[in-house]
Structure 1
């Protein structure tokens, strides 16, 4: 089985990386952004001994999408703060929000908050991350905390959570003291349901205060998952250094693999590759087992940032006898699809099935989407029909994946057919998928109709609904409607998150209002203390580069770094294009690249030659 998967991972040697594979035990970096593999409260993955993964060198492809390329840089020129001087048409976004909300947003560091920046796999289609919301009500949550799972599902409501959310000011400790004095019981199920609700809404600061209060007042006997949850919250709120220091205070008997895995995931989430390397190597030094969880996270990271290193992870899995999971295959399949290697994708699917692992809806949707992207429409439709399994009414869980892919294929009739089944009693994620699908097909009225239906079905429309419809308006350059929807969102009391800012930025860019997009970015970071998505910065940077506006291009790159995003080749490619279009020399650019440990590829080397202030020309040779 292992050898078959290795061959599937690298079917065409002539197209791939021929160099030797680096050591399987290289010092890796792990990332975690998958709901299936959330950190802090999950148990260690169990494996089947005796099975390994014979994986040949993975096909090396071009560098990843710039959205996920993180690095570091030093500027060769100071980026100023010049503004356009125009009145921002989105000035309504200056409306005040609660201080608690600002405090919570200030610590958010997820690049793919919700529905958009990078779904678990593909990174381009927002609809691929629709599966983390409950079927019926956006505010209704599922939980999984062992033996209490069923009771929590039945309860579906946390009084403790309501008390915490209603607490005035930034501190909730006094409110919690009063609540307990009134005789309310603090069971573990109540505590974990409240924490789950807080995490789901990204109120990490309040969740951390709850954990601190519980420990200080001896209301909870901590076990390893409690400590891990606390590490995760500290890293999100106070940063990695504070989380590391807290780990030192954890009793040694509870300082296990889950604790360090939690820290490791946060290191990668923060883009701190050096610290992530150190944590992973610390785990190896402590003799923690190499798990499928950790290997899958490595694959997820390298799929995004450096595909040639996928081979290292696969060889490590083979060496450590780690069995591939469904998630392993899904990642490899998606990597093949991103590389336009459909033959390799097909061989991976065959190997997965031969290993006794059947693809789930999400994996099938990944396969179908890559077929569609490759122009293999018939094969994509075959997979979609298989997902429906003959009776679309009996497989509702597939709808949220099917709708956007039919739209990508231009099958408006199929979208209409599936949506007619859904709209009789629509689930929340199906509505989101429908908005996206109708938007792709250019059917704006249908997308708006789904949105309005949601406002009637649910008391409060989730911000993801607004973000999706804003994206539809941005894709079709409907600035006026986007402005109106943004005002409506604010009036409804929805929290403005990174996805919403991203939609607003792109809306302005598509309408040719680059300065307004730049202003919105500033507003997000300075007034609302939000970390905009990487793609939000890049779309503005790209526009300044096209204009040859070096000053503002440098400014955006500087703000990228200030927001915690590190610079890599894609950003520098775009910045160099600004210098080229401006016909301006780029002094010290090679030194900047060297300082960031970036080695120019052929394309960048050609660009550097064009902006080299000391380059030799035929005329300069004559003059010399």
Structure 2
């Protein structure tokens, strides 16, 4: 692993400092969705050598990297770190997951219940966008269900997940009018039906796969209140996870105090940590991190990975510190650790460094999985290395595409990204006779990238005949229309959604915003977003705000740029570097000074990188120039 310390190479050290507080990690298999940020690298004069270092020599790298800083395992996330707050926002890059895989650390299987096909979550048209309001640019918004096994599952066992019948209890819950789960459960018991742990677990899994966390929480509350299940630590952890998703981190943290002390173990806190990462709340994640160390929980790669993926989005220079902690505590990196660092290198346009991490990964006996290969291919495409990207795609296919069917979902948009229409057609032909809903969505996206609108529409029509669609299933075609400035068709599709009784939510709003922006009607897009934000149960995606703010900034419209900045705050998206970069650009384009901008950033614990410093210099009302010096 330790050569992957190079992953932090372009991030330059401004990391952790030693203090009296202790920080540590604990093992978990709770997945946390993270949407990466493509912020530029932070600069610092102390730079680790670009020379590739082997695993055995990592400790030398660490010492060289931290030339002036003493580091111990009792790490204190100090300085500006503890005051950093990411709030509830996610990143703003919409193409981060276009390979078709959300970047979740793969959890282990929960008991004998196997992970279902992605289409299981849509087959009854039960997915609601209500559960997506916490994210931003989610192309693949499914989150894995909470699974808390102590062992990791072999990736090969996940390739062809078996289709699973729906729980009878789940069906009874869904058949109940309104949103009250309690009445359905009361009736279930009155009829003398089985309410054993296996039936409960399957029903809970069905609800989670559909992101119906509110109903899942009601189920958990009813079971405990009616003493129908002897709660153990994992049951309390499941409740904690649901509370965090439905009611927020504050309520979840408060719930921990109600859990019996004997069950308040590592699983509980790692669940909270994972949800802090989901919420992109750096301050709270670091507090939980320190708490776990204080409670003497063991360090694990999972909890370290949680920090890695959080810092990859929000504070990349801290990645090196987490890796150093892992080295100090002899925490062996997992495949997901490598995946995070490969992506970090790719985002920094360091293709050489990315390849070196892959070599290190293989040297450790870990072969890149489909997700990691898709990340590699995407960054090769971004770097203009189409031949290397195609070589990776062929590796993903393996000897037979029919045998490696699980790869089709990622292959379709990636082949489209390198302009290989014939390859897209070939892969789709493999799926066409018996397509899965996620493959259909990937095919729509792929044909859209290739400007083959009719092919995309044909796949959508087939999908609509096979399944009762949710708003998430409409999203790819809406994006195709938006990217191709087909406003009329986009509006017609939204009308079709409404006529079909599909709930309109954040994904649809985001597509509509982009539709109108691409059509040049920014004011209409702004109006749609404002109306969407007034719906209390759901909030628009981060990218919806940024799409409009970017347009105002291009115009040099300071007033509306500041307005969007403020509205993001109101929606719960705390300030980040990207927002300030766009805001300052509005002042630059307006040729107006930005008074107090540095102070505003400092108040939000945002520190400029090299690029941002250049922007600030342009809007500094008090900067000295050759002319001003003469006049003075």
CA 1:570–1:332 in 2, change beyond 3 Å: closer, same or farther? same
Residue 580 of structure 1 deviates from its aligned partner by: 2.7
**For residues 404-443 of structure 1, what are the structure 2 equivalents within 5 Å?**
404-443=413-452
* Equivalent pair of 1:499/1:533 in contact (CA under 8 Å): yes
* Equivalent pair of 1:432/1:468 in contact (CA under 8 Å): yes
Work out whether 1:255 is the aligned partner of 2:264.
Answer: yes
* Equivalent pair of 1:30/1:268 in contact (CA under 8 Å): no
CA 1:437–1:537 in 2, change beyond 3 Å: closer, same or farther? same
* Equivalent pair of 1:372/1:409 in contact (CA under 8 Å): yes
Aligned partner of 1:54 in structure 2 is 58
TM-score (norm 2): 0.79
Name the CA distance, whole Å, in 2 between partners of 1:59 and 1:546.
40
Greater shift, 236-245 or 126-135, is seen at 126-135
Give the alignment partner of residue 324 of structure 1, picking from 311, 317, 333: 333
Work out whether 1:343 is the aligned partner of 2:352.
Answer: yes
Aligned partner of 1:479 in structure 2 is 487
**Which has the higher relative contact order, 1 or 2, with Cα contacts under 8 A spaced 6 or more apart?**
1
Query: Please, which runs of 5 or more residues in structure 1 have no aligned partner?
Result: 40-50, 61-69, 74-108
CA 1:110–1:177 in 2, change beyond 3 Å: closer, same or farther? farther
Name the CA distance, whole Å, in 2 between partners of 1:486 and 1:30.
45
CA deviation vs aligned residue, 1:386-408 (integer Å, no higher than 9, x gap): 22223222211111111111111
RMSD over equivalenced CA pairs, Å = 3.6
SS in 2 for 1:259: helix
Name the CA distance, whole Å, in 1 between partners of 2:288 and 2:607.
26
Residue 110 of structure 1 deviates from its aligned partner by: 8.5
Query: Please, which runs of 5 or more residues in structure 2 have no aligned partner?
Result: 35-54, 67-83, 105-114, 125-143
CA 1:133–1:340 in 2, change beyond 3 Å: closer, same or farther? farther
Name the CA distance, whole Å, in 2 between partners of 1:53 and 1:463.
51
Work out whether 1:494 is the aligned partner of 2:502.
Answer: yes
Work out whether 1:215 is the aligned partner of 2:218.
Answer: no
Name the CA distance, whole Å, in 1 between partners of 2:605 and 2:103.
37
Aligned partner of 1:272 in structure 2 is 281
* Equivalent pair of 2:29/2:148 in contact (CA under 8 Å): no
Name the CA distance, whole Å, in 1 between partners of 2:11 and 2:593.
35
CA deviation vs aligned residue, 1:10-35 (integer Å, no higher than 9, x gap): 6xx7xx46658645999779999998
Work out whether 1:534 is the aligned partner of 2:537.
Answer: no
Aligned partner of 1:183 in structure 2 is 192
Residue 269 of structure 1 deviates from its aligned partner by: 2.5
* Equivalent pair of 1:231/1:246 in contact (CA under 8 Å): yes
Aligned partner of 2:578 in structure 1 is 570
SS in 2 for 1:359: coil
Name the CA distance, whole Å, in 1 between partners of 2:275 and 2:265.
16
Name the CA distance, whole Å, in 1 between partners of 2:33 and 2:11.
33
**For residues 331-370 of structure 1, what are the structure 2 equivalents within 5 Å?**
331-370=340-379
Aligned partner of 2:457 in structure 1 is 448
* Equivalent pair of 1:550/1:578 in contact (CA under 8 Å): yes
* Equivalent pair of 1:29/1:273 in contact (CA under 8 Å): no
CA deviation vs aligned residue, 1:243-281 (integer Å, no higher than 9, x gap): 122111111111111111111222233333222211110
**For residues 586-601 of structure 1, what are the structure 2 equivalents within 5 Å?**
586-601=594-609
Residue 623 of structure 1 deviates from its aligned partner by: 7.4
SS in 2 for 1:398: helix
CA deviation vs aligned residue, 1:554-607 (integer Å, no higher than 9, x gap): 111111112211112221111122223233443333331221122333443443
Residue 167 of structure 1 deviates from its aligned partner by: 3.0
Aligned partner of 1:134 in structure 2 is 117
Name the CA distance, whole Å, in 2 between partners of 1:221 and 1:259.
17
**For residues 142-153 of structure 1, what are the structure 2 equivalents within 5 Å?**
none
Residue 617 of structure 1 deviates from its aligned partner by: 6.6
